[in-house]
Structures are given as structure tokens and as C-alpha cells.
Amino acid sequence: MRKYCPSIGKIALASVFLWLSPRTTVIGQALPGEQQLQSDTLRVGLDSAENIFVRQNLSLLAQRYNVSAQDALVLQAKLWPNPNLSLSTIIYNGDAEKWFAFGFPYGEVAGNISQLIMLAGKRGKSIDIAKANTKLAQYQLYDLLRTLKYTLRTDFYNIYYLMQTASVYDQEIRALQQVVTAYNAQAGKGYIAESEVVQIKAQLYSLQSEYNDLINQINDTESELKLVMQVKNTVYVAPIVDTMAVKAMEPSKYGLGPLIDSAMANRTDLMVAKENTEINKLQYSYQKALAVPDLTLSLNYDQQGSFVHNFTSFGASIDLPFLNRNQGNIKSAKAMIGFAEATQKSTELTVQENVYRALQKAYANQKLYQNIDPAFAAEFEALSRAELENYEKRNIGLLQFQAFYDAYKQNVVQVNTILFNRVSSFEDLNFYTGTNLY
């Protein structure tokens, strides 16, 4: 029978109290040189994170330039074709042996000025297409903003709840490390069975491996969040969550019908699909207009090359649409209308299904959240005191004591997963309706 060492019991109890004490650090002790990879911590709320994102994200900036470029094409489409001016004169008159002779009787000057007149409303149709492309670029900007904002908000909450979970791992690992250190100091003295020490070490190594995987998951999500916010890679973003606002979220606040109506009115990807349909209709109209040839008007002058001196004439020219009536482009444009309309209809059905499924998930996660016993934390605290007393009196073994806290760790992990899934489902509703309902 092994001996009981009071000092070991006190160290173990101190370790457990360390475990129970509130903590905010989740990354743990840094390795040499690791601090160079993460030098600053940015503690930020969701609104502030969104403001940083809107100001600094380079993808948004690039898309804004695209909008400006498309808007400039509207100006270009409004411009009329330039008139054409041509002049000609004689280089050398061999009979008179004169170079560049101008005027009667030795010279010759001829000139022509012409203007292209676009028929069948081509100019107006090209302006409409340019305006529609500008609107499309704006919708694409808004859709990019919606998508990146969803990524930011989801990563923000994911990091927060992963940090809460990591905190539990961090506490348990620190407690076990102190216990292992105390047992190693008493090695060979007969106070602790060797098998018990081995099991505790195995549990410690397992926790450290799980903790490392969790930290890698946090850092991967951090990396994505920093790219969206466009902050330095040496900055660690520590989310500050308004837990009371999150707690007040309720899926029954909005019915399915209003949510679908909101999505149909505000989903920017649906607006993109509708605008593509409109652009293809405009393109079809424009291609039919191109089948009508344009008219060229001209004013001509010839000093001596005609049957009278100083011949002045007015002319008009137009292509004869016998061979090329733009048949292929017209047929292609008409087919593209069908393609765009089918794509739009598919997008509309996808939007409706997205909203339905998001609301369904929100109700399921809300129900799971409501099943969490709010008195659990207080009950666990009372139970933990009883476990501490039993362990101090050696009524229970350390492994049994550790099993109790391991069950607590698993419960905390599950609770944080439930909390994140719940808030994530509300973010899905925001994303799929194209609004900030929550």
C-alpha cells in the first residue's frame, strides 16, 4: 500500500484551484523566437472590426476601381464619332515644272469632310449597355462586401468561442503539469504508484496534442480574419463579443415569408443575375440595331479635278445589307437571354432555399441552446468543492478526480460549440437575406 504525502495533496489541490480560476490567456507560453511572429494584440469589437475592414480591404478597393472604370465607359458611349477630314494636293507638276503648286492654272487642291451618322438608335443602346455594366459592377461590389463581411463576422465569433474552449484546455494542462512536477519530485519514495503517474502523463500529453490542434485552428481562422481586415500579420486579433446582444437573438423574431421577401429584395447575387439578364436583353437589341448599316454624310471640294473649276458637292454613303446582316451575333445574343433568364431563375430558387434552411438551422440551434442548464456553472462549483474535499481526505483517487474535471472540459467544449453554432446560424440569416437583421 502506497504512502500518503500531504505535500503532494496540497500541490495537487493548488493546481486544481489554478484550473478553476478565471483566465483570459489562451495561447500559453511562447517558444523562443515565437513572439517575433506575434508582437501586438488588437482587442476589437465587431463594429470596429467591420470599420477597419471597410476602410482597408484591398479587394473592395479594387472593385471600387472597377466601378469607376465602368462609369467612365458610360461617358465614352455618349460621345459622337469624330468627323473625318481629308485634304490632297499635287506634289509635282511636270508640265509646269513646279513643286506643290497651289491654285489655278498649275495646281490642284481637293478636300473632303465626312461624318458618320449611327442609325437604328445604336448610340442610345450602347449608352444603356454601359450604364447597365456600371450597375452590374456596383452590385458585384456590394456582393463582395456581403461575402467578405460574412467571413469576417463568422471568423470573429469562431475565434472568440474557440478561445473560450482553449482557455479550459490551458487551465487543465497547467494543473496537470504542476501535478506531474510534484510527482516527479517524489519519484521512488513510494508515495505514488508508478502506474498512476504514467496515466497522468499520458492524459497530459493527450491534452497537449488536442490543445495544439485547437490553437492551430484558431491561428488558421485568425489568418483569414486578418486578411479580410487587412491588418499586419504580426497582429493577433482578440475579439470582444457583446454576449448580452448575442443572448437576445431569437429566430422567431422574423417569419419565413418576410425573410424571403427581404432576400429577394436585397440579395446582391440575385441583383447581379437580374442585371445580367437585362444586359443580355440590351445586347440583343443592340445586335439587331447593328444589322442596320450606318450612314456617312460628306462635303467635297475639288479645285480643278472635275468638269468645272472649284467643284463642290454633297454626298452620302451607306453599306448595302445583302450579305452580312449580323445574323450570327443576333442569334447568339438571343440564346444568351435564355441562358441569363435560366440562371436568374436558378438563383431565385437558391435564395429561397438558402433562407429556409438558414431559418431551420437557427431554430434547431436555438432549441439546443435553450436546453443548456443555466444553473450548471453554479452546480458544478458546489460539486467541485465536494470533490476537492473528498480528494483532500483521500476518499477518492486522483484519477477519479481528474475524470470529473475531464468530463467538465468536454461539457465546456460542447457548450462553446453550441454557442458558436447558434450565433453562426444567425449570421447565415444575415448573409442569405442580404441584410443585418441580427
The per-residue pLDDT for range 244-255, each reduced to its tens digit, is 898 889 998 889
Q: How far is CA 66 from CA 97, 134, 135, in A?
A: 61, 9, 11
Select the more confidently predicted residue: 202 or 358. Answer: 358
Check residue 186 and give its pLDDT: 67
Check residue 3 and give its pLDDT: 47
Q: What is the pTM of this model?
A: 0.81
Check residue 11 and give its pLDDT: 46
pLDDT mean over 119-128: 93
Per-residue pLDDT tens for 56-83?
988 899 999 999 999 999 999 999 999 9
User: How many whole angstroms from its chain centre is CA 160?
Assistant: 19
pLDDT score of 12 more than 50: no
Of 182-191, 288-297, 352-361, 367-376, the poorest mean pLDDT is in 182-191
Task: Give 217's contacts (C-beta < 8 A, 6+ positions apart).
Answer: 162
Check residue 191 and give its pLDDT: 59
pLDDT score of 429 more than 80: yes
Categorize the per-residue pLDDT at 394 as very low, low, confident or very high, splitting at 50, 70 and 90.
Answer: low
- CATH code reported for the domain at 6-81+118-291+326-433: 1.20.1600.10
Of 10-19, 377-386, 406-415, the poorest mean pLDDT is in 10-19
Report the phi/psi class of residue 190: left, alpha or beta, with left for phi > 0 and alpha for psi in -120 to 50: left
Per-residue pLDDT tens for 262-312?
999 999 999 999 999 999 999 999 999 999 999 999 999 888 777 778 888
Check residue 180 and give its pLDDT: 78
- Cα separation, 203 vs 400, in Å, equals 13
Select the more confidently predicted residue: 436 or 198. Answer: 436
Q: Are 4 and 152 in contact (CB under 8 A)?
A: no
Categorize the per-residue pLDDT at 143 as very low, low, confident or very high, splitting at 50, 70 and 90.
Answer: very high
Question: Highest mean pLDDT range out of 77-91, 163-177, 275-289, 309-323?
Answer: 275-289
Categorize the per-residue pLDDT at 377 as very low, low, confident or very high, splitting at 50, 70 and 90.
Answer: low
- Cα separation, 193 vs 94, in Å, equals 125
Check residue 7 and give its pLDDT: 47
pLDDT mean over 364-392: 74
- Cα separation, 326 vs 436, in Å, equals 48
Check residue 136 and give its pLDDT: 95
Check residue 15 and give its pLDDT: 47
Q: What percent of the chain has pLDDT over 70?
A: 83
Check residue 408 and give its pLDDT: 76
- Cα separation, 40 vs 45, in Å, equals 16
pLDDT score of 96 more than 70: no
3-class secondary structure for the chain? CCCCCHHHHHHHHHHHHHHHCCCCCCCCCCCCCHHHHCCEEEEEEHHHHHHHHHHHCHHHHHHHHHHHHHHHHHHHHHCCCCCEEEEEECCEECCCCEECCCCCCCCCEEEEEEEEECCCCHHHHHHHHHHHHHHHHHHHHHHHHHHHHHHHHHHHHHHHHHHHHHHHHHHHHHHHHHHHHHHHHCCCCCCCCHHHHHHHHHHHHHHHHHHHHHHHHHHHHHHHHHHHHCCCCCEEEEEECCHHHHHCCCHHHCCHHHHHHHHHHHCHHHHHHHHHHHHHHHHHHHHHHHCCCCEEEEEEEECCCCCCCCEEEEEEEECCCCCCCCHHHHHHHHHHHHHHHHHHHHHHHHHHHHHHHHHHHHHHHHHHHHCCCCCHHHHHHHHHHHHHHHHHCCCCCHHHHHHHHHHHHHHHHHHHHHHHHHHHHHHHHHHHHCCCCC
Q: Are 107 and 93 in contact (CB under 8 A)?
A: yes
pLDDT score of 224 more than 60: yes
Categorize the per-residue pLDDT at 2 as very low, low, confident or very high, splitting at 50, 70 and 90.
Answer: very low
Per-residue pLDDT tens for 26-53?
444 444 445 555 568 889 899 999 999 9
Q: Are 154 and 422 in contact (CB under 8 A)?
A: no
Mean pLDDT score across all residues of the chain: 83
